[in-house]
Structure 1
Amino acid sequence: MFTPYDWQEGIGNRAQYIEGKLAQGAPVFAVSIPEGILVFTFRRQARKIYEIYDRLLFAGIGQQSDVEAIRMGALEFASREGYNRSDEDVTIQRVATAMSAPLKRAFSDFSASPLVARSLFAEVNATPDEDLYYALDYDGDYTMSRRISVIAGTQEVVDASTERLQKLDVSAPTESLMASLQETWVHVLNPEGHRSTEEVIQGLSPEAVLLERSNLRENRFRLLTPEEF
């Protein structure tokens, strides 16, 4: 007989399993600046940051197949909403809440594997104060924030990153901001300074995107080149 205690223990075991898998996940930073939303991380091979609709982007850490499943689900939902309703109806709140339900089901369904992923959804608006971020966890829970958002393998890294990012001078030139983001990224993964920067980022490549606030360009989503780092 399956008791409530068994269910609670099973959920705890699934959470512990996923947390262990995500613990080494490389953090992703998103910061609102005058030009738009700047997103930065380091990666090994597969990209982590994607456009999912005009004004909206997605970033994910975790098992690559699960990250891709969430990305495709969000992309399909946004496209369907835009077709059935209007572009204005495709908001980050609708996308994030739509993706929350299948994650909740997958996490609590003991007959299937849970999704090992954390996701970040961002929406650029007219001003930095109006930008929206939704951080979606593997169990379907999400948190909303403005101006700054971080997803990472552990809550300790999220807290340390957020504290440092809140002190950024967002009015600085993009090159200066990129340098600060890289420095923060290395620091939160090496807080005691026991490893050199080269050791921390060995085998990794920087990835950065600017989701532009201006709509003068056909595509606001712009992958930054190494020359802009």
Structure 2
Amino acid sequence: MTMPFYVAPEQLMKDRADFARKGIARGRALTALSVKDGIVICAENQSNTLRKVSEIYDRIAFAGVGRYNEFDQLRIAGVRHADLKGYTYSREDVDARSLANQYAQVLGQTFTHEMKPMEVEILVAEVGSEPGGDQMFHVLYDGTVNDESGYTVLGGEADSIAERLGQTYDGDWEVGDAVKASSAALSGQERTLEADDLEVAILVRETGRRAFQRIEGDELARLLD
């Protein structure tokens, strides 16, 4: 009987991390910004049917980058978890922190024990009654959770996009300012993104229970202009 090849745990984890990062880098990035009117999420997405940004629960949004079928499975699982928890206990018991922890456990378990890790990064965002109460959790492919403040970037070229966005970011922006800044940061200096190239949504601060709204079509084009 032949003995299996030995691979050091450190090398195995490194190979899985490199594999996941390469898969994520092939996708398009997205930004999330906490501004005066709420949390604006802007993703580069030329598809009109495959959504990167979705509503999870009352004042909570989900966004994903990387392999679509994998982060959409996570989105569906999050919706089911939130609905069950809200029905069993109370709607106020459903929050972004607990959802992010659930996602972190699933991604960490997959990264450690499965042959192929999930090639995804996800964002769980919850809008507060004022900017200081906004919560944004960036969950990586290996289950690492980052508690973000102000703004965050997910996906390929995240560092350079975050640097461009950080040069101009202002928490007192209106929605239009946030959309324009996000579009400029995602596109860089060598190209320009039009309304059809973007998927934009906002968690509106003052709408009460249901805060998630999409910005598309003529409304998005006006904001970019």
State the TM bucket, normalised to the shorter chain.
0.7 to 0.9
- The CA deviation string for residues 65-118 of structure 1, in whole angstroms up to 9 with x for no partner, is 1111111121111111111111111011100001111111111114x4321100
- After superposing the two structures, state which structure 1 stretch, 171-180 or 12-21, moved more: 171-180
Partner residue, 1:190: none
* RMSD over aligned Cα atoms: 2.3
- Alignment pair present for 1:176 and 2:168: no
Separation in 1, partners of 2:27, 2:216? 23
- Alignment pair present for 1:99 and 2:65: no
- Alignment pair present for 1:148 and 2:151: yes
Partner residue, 2:214: 223
- After superposing the two structures, state which structure 1 stretch, 143-152 or 115-124, moved more: 143-152
Separation in 1, partners of 2:34, 2:135? 9
Matches within 5 A, 1:186-225: 186-187=187-188, 193=189, 195-197=190-192, 201=193, 205-216=197-208, 219-225=210-216
Match of 1:59 among 57, 60, 63: 63
User: What SS does the aligned partner of 2:143 have?
Assistant: coil
- The CA deviation string for residues 203-224 of structure 1, in whole angstroms up to 9 with x for no partner, is 96211111111134x6321101
- After superposing the two structures, state which structure 1 stretch, 148-157 or 34-43, moved more: 148-157
Separation in 1, partners of 2:29, 2:200? 12
- The CA deviation string for residues 9-48 of structure 1, in whole angstroms up to 9 with x for no partner, is 1111111111111113222111112211111111032211
The answer to whether the 8 A contact 1:132-1:147 is kept is no
Tell me, which stretches of 5 or more residues in structure 2 are unaligned? Answer: none
Give the direction of change, closer, same or farther, for the CA distance of 1:134–1:113 in structure 2 (3 Å limit). Answer: same
Tell me, which stretches of 5 or more residues in structure 1 are unaligned? Answer: 188-192
Match of 1:26 among 8, 15, 28: 28
Separation in 2, partners of 1:70, 1:227? 31
The answer to whether the 8 A contact 2:37-2:174 is kept is no
Separation in 2, partners of 1:94, 1:144? 12
- Shift >3 Å, 4+ stretches: 1-5, 169-173, 201-204
The count of corresponding residues between Structure 1 and Structure 2 is: 216
